[in-house]
């Protein structure tokens, strides 16, 4: 598998196994299959696992990975996350340390390779539930992340770069800046339920990728199949007005294009993300070995040709 530069952590495989799928977020799975999928990912050359306490009931993704790695020699990198909406109260330092300690306990590790702030920013002077202000991030959260790195409890830290672009661009331009940013990268630029501003305002995910990469922030691509919207069929029941269902309907031309190119929509979606300049690694939302195998085959086929890339980008609204 291709290896790509990943900032202070050296290099990373072009594909990263995400915790959402093995945690049951994207359709049903079980512990045995989750563990087998982790083993298959490592055997295929994947060098990073991207987890979160919120991925699955009972912290399923972290617990499954602990099971998979127990007794197995591995230098795989582990990412996990912390959510810090300021409407849950301040005391960010205590909340970060408590969340990190709990993740390390579940993972049976003494450090994380990356700790990611999994909370959207809001514009200063606005009120938006479930978010954090840029000043709260800069003045209260970043110093804790830096201290945790100095203490050896994490090797690097990052952000989930979704939401209002202005404060995100400021984080890339300022110092200390995050080591990595998780940014939505998919063929139709569909952020789904991560985008909280409706259809009236479009996200500029491509601009965020360029800004992050230009500032030396390693980009991890998320929502590559748009929560299942860029696949053959949604693998879970959602209401007709759910963003995933709406985007699935909008993606019919993408499925037609994939068929004309002789590959599955999921394969085409992953090859597209792997072809985007500035992307260090693509996070997989797979929940079993069959879905993993499809993604591994897509990576092995290599990036899209210029003609294929033009055909895909022509579909972007």
Domain 3-313 has CATH 2.60.210.10: no
CB atoms within 10 A of CB 31: 14
Can you tell me the distance from the alpha carbon of 40 to that of 49, in angstroms, rounded to the nearest whole number? 12
Indicate if the pLDDT at residue 317 is higher than 80.
no
Structure tokens at 69: 């790695």
Say if residue 174's pLDDT is above 60.
yes
- The model's confidence at residue 88, banded by pLDDT at 50, 70 and 90, is confident
pLDDT at 201 over 70: no
Nearest to 190 by CA among 130, 273, 258: 273
What pLDDT sits at residue 260? Answer: 96
Sequence-separated (6 or more) residues with CB below 8 Å from residue 314: none
Give me the torsion for CA of 121, 125, 130, 136, rounded to 10°.
60
Q: Which of the four pLDDT bands, split at 50, 70 and 90, describes residue 200?
A: low
* C-alpha 257, offset from chain centre: 25
How big, in percent rounded to 5, are the helix, strand and coil portions of the chain?
A: 45, 15, 40
- pLDDT score for 243: 85
Estimate the crossing angle of helix 92-107 against helix 142-150, to 10 degrees: 40
Question: Is omega for the bond preceding 176 within 30 degrees of 0, making it cis?
Answer: yes
Tens of pLDDT, residue by residue over 133-156, are 899 999 999 999 999 999 999 999
In the structure, what pLDDT confidence band is assigned to residue 90 with cuts at 50, 70 and 90?
Answer: confident
User: What is the pLDDT of the chain when averaged over all its residues?
Assistant: 92
pLDDT attached to residue 199: 57
Answer whether residue 285 shows pLDDT above 60: yes
């Amino acid at each position: 598998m291709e290896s790509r530069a990943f900032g202070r952590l050296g290099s990373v495989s072009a594909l990263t196994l995400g915790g959402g799928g093995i945690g049951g977020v994207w359709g049903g799975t079980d512990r045995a299959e989750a563990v087998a999928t982790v083993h298959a990912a490592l055997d295929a050359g994947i060098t990073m696992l991207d987890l979160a306490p919120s991925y699955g009931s009972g912290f399923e993704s972290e617990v499954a990975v602990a099971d998979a790695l127990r007794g197995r020699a591995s230098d795989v990198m582990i990412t996990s996350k912390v959510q810090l909406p300021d409407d849950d109260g301040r005391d960010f330092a205590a909340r970060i340390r408590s969340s990190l300690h709990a993740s390390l306990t579940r993972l049976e590790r003494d450090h994380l390779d990356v700790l990611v702030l999994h909370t959207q920013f809001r514009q200063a002077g606005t009120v938006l539930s479930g978010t954090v202000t840029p000043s709260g991030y800069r003045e209260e959260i970043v110093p804790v992340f830096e201290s945790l790195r100095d203490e050896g409890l994490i090797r690097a830290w990052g952000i989930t770069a979704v939401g209002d672009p202005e404060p995100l661009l400021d984080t890339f331009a300022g110092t200390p800046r995050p080591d990595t940013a998780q940014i939505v990268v998919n063929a139709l630029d569909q952020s789904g339920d991560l985008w909280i501003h409706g259809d009236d305002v479009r996200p500029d995910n491509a601009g965020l990728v360029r800004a992050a990469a230009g500032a030396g922030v390693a980009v991890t691509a998320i929502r590559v199949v748009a929560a299942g919207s860029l696949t053959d069929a949604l693998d879970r029941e959602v209401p007709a007005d759910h963003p995933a269902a709406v985007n699935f309907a909008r993606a019919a031309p993408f499925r037609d294009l994939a068929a004309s190119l002789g590959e599955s929509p999921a394969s085409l979606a992953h090859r597209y993300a792997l072809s985007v300049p500035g992307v260090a690694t693509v996070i997989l939302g797979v929940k079993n070995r069959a879905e993993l195998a499809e993604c591994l085959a897509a990576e092995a086929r290599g990036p899209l040709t210029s003609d294929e890339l033009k055909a895909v980008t022509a579909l972007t609204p």
